[in-house]
Every structure is written in C-alpha cells, then in structure tokens.
A = this chain, B = another copy of it.
Amino acid sequence: MTRYAMRMAVTLKSEVLDPAGQATQAVVNERGFDAVGELRIGKLVDFSVQAGDPAEALEVARRLGREFLANPVLERFEVWMDQGRRTGHDGE
C-alpha cells in the first residue's frame, strides 16, 4: 500500500453569494490592491489516502468529497493528487 497525498478544494457554487469574499475584496481594494477582483473564499482539505494505486486513492477521495466534505446544495469540490507534497511509502 502507498500513501497518496491528496488536496481537495471545496468552493461555493458560482450562483451562491459569498459575503466573506466580498468583504475581503472590499478591504483589499481599499488598501491599494485595486487590480484584484472576483474574490471568493473556499475551503482546502489536505489529506492522505492509503491505496493500492493512484486510481483507487482518487476514488476514495472523491467519495469523501461527495459523502462528507462538500454540501452538494451549495458547494462543489475538486480533488487532485498533490505531487508537491511529501508522500510516504507505508510498509508494503
């Protein structure tokens, strides 16, 4: 089994208002970052999955997104292998 490093982005659907993002953008624009727009805040979840191969790890990660980490009414999620992060080899 290998331990795969995964990263998930959970973001509000585009039709859902994001007051925290709007407030952050207003402050940022006021303080000199006027080139910044369309700011939206989401969640990031980093985790590892022990699996026999990358396809199995991705399948577990997608199921985790569907069943636990994202609210399907308001949110969408994307998940990918995080090549940059250290991945341990876990025994056999």
Q: How many residues of A contact B (CB 8 A)?
A: 36
Interface pairs (7), CB distance under 8 Å: A7-B9, A11-B44, A25-B47, A33-B64, A38-B47, A40-B46, A40-B47
Q: How distant is the Cα of A64 from the Cα of B37 in the complex, in angstroms?
A: 12
How many copies of the chain does the oligomer comprise?
2
Q: Interface SS of chain A: helix, strand, loop or mixed?
A: strand
Of all chain B residues, the one with the shortest Cβ separation from A1 is B35
B residues in contact with A45, CB < 8 Å: 21, 24, 39-42
Give chain B nearest CB distance to A10 CB in angstroms: 8
B residues in contact with A63, CB < 8 Å: 33
A residues touching B (Cβ–Cβ < 8 Å)?
3, 5, 7, 9-11, 21, 24-25, 27-28, 31, 33, 35-51, 60, 63-64, 67-69
The answer to whether A41 touches B42 (Cβ under 8 A) is: no
